[in-house]
Structure 1
Amino acid sequence: MIEIELKGHADDKVFERVRENFTFMRKEVHEDIYFSHPCRDFSETDEALRIRIKRFNGHFEAFLTYKGPKIDSISKSRKEIEVSIEDVDAYLELLNLLGFREILTVKKTREKYYVEKGVTITLDEVEGLGKFVEIEKLAKDEEEVQKEVPRLMEILKSLGIKKFERKSYLELLMEKLNSSTEL
């Protein structure tokens, strides 16, 4: 499947508009552990591999996720393969033994809202970065991506999003860390 994803910088007003206009699903706490590949540079290939630990309503879920390169020039749409995992420590050990290395952990609080069948909006407060809003939908193929991206973008614009962001939270945090070490 292809995950269609658009993200924008948000503020309290945007958060309020989402809360007023869409149906609250749940609040989640995410810990995303990102890995570097032993043989290729994911920052050059525009790929990502992570373990996401998700906590909500007293539950715990974990997933190993591969994200392929972005497939268009506007959104963050990309092929995504996600596998549920039970034993995070075993997967961490496995990846380390195979030569993958942890590069950064992204922590965020996420509020998830229902927009329509197959479409959700999330309000993200990311440690070290601030507030963002994301809209997501799964697509079968790239043709559907081209059709849906403008429609999803209009929904975000109607909420007051003026600055869209194609970079991942990992990329944004890495840039911030690199610029602070250069000072």
Structure 2
Amino acid sequence: MTIEAELKARVADPAGLVGRLAAWAGGPGREEVYRDVYFDWPGGELGAAGAEVRVRTVTGAAGTRALLTYKGAAVDEASGSKPETETAVGDAAAARAVLRGSGLVETLAFEKRCRNWELTQDGRPLLATVVAVPELAGVFLEVETPARDAADLPAALAAVRRALRRLGVADADLTTELYTDAVARARAAG
């Protein structure tokens, strides 16, 4: 199972960041809307272990696709990077039905409005995503690359950090807060 080496930051200047990303990648990026539905056992065992199961529907100019994802517990607390297994599924509604039929329950669903750029840093493929979640204040940047295993994770995270510096993102802007936690808090408060 590969590890998603990822860092996330709050963005102070979204327009400036988008300009820097477009200049680096040579284009305006790919706009997509992610509709994420998370599942857990009725007793919350996955969440308690730091794991998650998600069905994501992605809609953009290229059409609609669905992904089934399992993320294990974080293997690096400083970044929150997690082992990840993901596969395309033909029908998001059917995938959700399979999970419910297997005893999992839907715990949270929300939308992310994203613009994605594919970049390269230190010979590694990167995905940089500018994210707005309608229920949350602010804009976020996620930069990720796959790490083959735990031994490769430090080099993968170093490439991500160099990319963030190139984009003008300071370490003080980094956050490990999960969207799921922030959305759940916002809903409980509102």
What TM-score do you get using the length of structure 2 for normalisation?
Answer: 0.85
1:172 alignment counterpart: 182
1:43 alignment counterpart: 47
**Contact kept? 1:18, 1:159, Cα under 8 Å:** yes
Q: Distance in 1 between matches of 2:156 and 2:88?
A: 27
Q: Distance in 1 between matches of 2:158 and 2:125?
A: 16
Task: After superposing the two structures, state which structure 1 stretch, 67-76 or 46-55, moved more.
Answer: 67-76
Q: Percent identity at matched positions?
A: 26
* Unaligned residue ranges in structure 1 (runs of 5+): none
Shift of 1:132: 0.5
Q: Distance in 2 between matches of 1:151 and 1:93?
A: 39
The yes-or-no answer on 1:114 pairing with 2:118 is yes
Shift of 1:33: 0.6
Describe the superposition over 1:106-142 as per-residue Cα deviations: whole angstroms up to 9, x where unpaired.
2111111122151121111112123110111011111
In structure 2, give the amino acid aligned to 1:5: E
**Contact kept? 1:118, 1:137, Cα under 8 Å:** yes
Shift of 1:58: 4.2
Q: Which runs of 4+ in 1 moved over 4 A?
A: none
| Corresponding pairs, count | 180
What TM-score do you get using the length of structure 1 for normalisation?
Answer: 0.88
- CA RMSD between the two structures: 1.9
1:23 alignment counterpart: 26
The yes-or-no answer on 1:100 pairing with 2:104 is yes
Q: Distance in 1 between matches of 2:57 and 2:70?
A: 14
Q: Distance in 1 between matches of 2:62 and 2:76?
A: 37
> 1:32-71 maps to which residues of 2 (within 5 A)?
32-71=36-75
